Structure 1
């Protein structure tokens, strides 16, 4: 298990290095890129407060982040259709297209790599990565006083 754990750790480090490189290519600071990455990959709608919490900002700083991303044409705000008091953030089409363009060579290489595995192997790899992602997310949540992992 130690080899698998280290392989995953090295993968996560390489992914962080990729994030820094992509942020530079897209002319975003590391923090702004991290915010955009959350907006592009979140399974639920995010507002400024939720986005700020994900990147470790206060609500005031999160507002500044969103203002900056909106001025740069990366994000647009709109009212939540279920709660008109709440703002929802979404990446613009141009931001999504720019990220996709930068990631296309990597996506192609990953597709070729995946083709080297059987369907059953890919299913096992995917299951492992999904479950490991859940563990990483759980481990990154704030600890409750007295809680154990």
Structure 2
């Protein structure tokens, strides 16, 4: 898609460039830790669910990753074999199985992604609260475009 010099598309191109770079870092993390890139996305989905207070079930994970039941089970089985995820019974509904990211997976993620996150936080320090709110609004609206929300 050509933008014909349209500066309105510049934020879109920059967002895409950031997404590509983030994807490359995810792939590097996956390769270093004997994982498939989908496994890394799964861990991110599970950590996001935990942060949002959502029950991390196989169904939620499959929906977020766009996988069918068999594909979701394969991802969970791989992550469990690697010691990154555990299946645990829901304390409120013993029939339901929840997925928990294990501390070692969190440690590996912090070790690899921590410096990048620290760099981003340093960049944000240069913005005042009003500017940060604009950034949040843009990123939230951008995510909604992609998720159809």
Both proteins in one fold, TM over 0.5: yes
Kindly indicate whether residue 72 of structure 2 is the aligned counterpart of residue 65 of structure 1.
no
CA distance in 1, matches of 2:65, 2:114: 26
CA distance in 2, matches of 1:58, 1:5: 30
The residue number in structure 2 matching 1:115 is: 125
The residue number in structure 2 matching 1:81 is: 91
User: Among 103, 124, 134, which residue is 2:113 paired with?
Assistant: 103
The Cα of 1:48 is off from its aligned counterpart by: 1.7
CA distance in 2, matches of 1:59, 1:82: 24
CA-based RMSD of the aligned residues comes to 1.8
Runs of at least 5 residues in structure 1 that lack an aligned partner in the other structure: 140-149
CA distance in 1, matches of 2:146, 2:71: 25
Kindly indicate whether residue 142 of structure 2 is the aligned counterpart of residue 132 of structure 1.
yes
Q: How many residues align?
A: 139
Structure showing greater relative contact order (alpha-carbon pairs closer than 8 Å, 6 or more residues apart): 1
The Cα of 1:18 is off from its aligned counterpart by: 1.9
TM-score (norm 1): 0.82
Runs of at least 5 residues in structure 2 that lack an aligned partner in the other structure: 1-7
CA distance in 1, matches of 2:117, 2:28: 16
TM-score (norm 2): 0.82
